[in-house]
Amino acid sequence: MAAVEGQRPNLTWLFFGWSGRLSRAPFALGWAFWLMLLSAALARIMIVPKEDPAFLFWGFVFFGVALVSTVSTIMMTIKRLHDMNLPLALIICLFIPAISFFALIAFMVWPGTPGPNDYGRLPDRPKD
């Protein structure tokens, strides 16, 4: 089954769309992508001396990537909850320090709903 033209999955939908479903592998890879970018920016901050003007630049890069990655991971988690056919209120689990790590692991390993559900016919697609 092909997705309706105009609703094909793309990187903008993957990272910033909220409709549809997202399976475990793209969800985990999306998180890994943002962690890689944050780690690269943090490594540059650690290498550059504080007196160097590049320190401020890399600090702003890190802050910018942190903001964008926060929005993106929220959107990916919404789609992951859609795939598991769970209420969106569970996204609050990512913001409670005592359970956020365990919630993230659960979202990565809990299988999605087989077949169609309330949020779409197929995983890894925007809702038709």
Question: What is the per-residue pLDDT across 54-110, written as a single tens digit (0 to 9) for each?
Answer: 999 999 999 999 999 999 999 999 999 999 999 999 999 999 999 999 999 999 999
Structure confidence at residue 3 (pLDDT): 46
C-alpha closest to that of 41 among 66, 21, 74: 66
Residue 127 maps to a domain: no
Largest CA distance in the chain: 57
pLDDT of 127 above 90: no
What are the pLDDT digits (tens) for 33-61?
999 999 999 999 999 999 999 999 999 99
Confirm whether 12 is domain-assigned: no
The domain total for the chain is 1
Whether residue 64 is contained in a domain is answered as yes
Residue 76 inside a domain? The answer is yes
CA 34 to chain centre: 8
pLDDT exceeds cutoff 70 at 11: yes
For residue 123, being part of any structural domain is answered with no
Residues in the chain: 128
Q: Which is more confidently placed, 7 or 31?
A: 31
Q: Let me know if residue 116 belongs to a domain.
A: no
Structure token digits, residue 43: 């490594």
Q: Is 124 within the bounds of a domain? A: no
In a domain, 81, yes or no: yes
Domain of 71 in residue numbering reads as 17-109
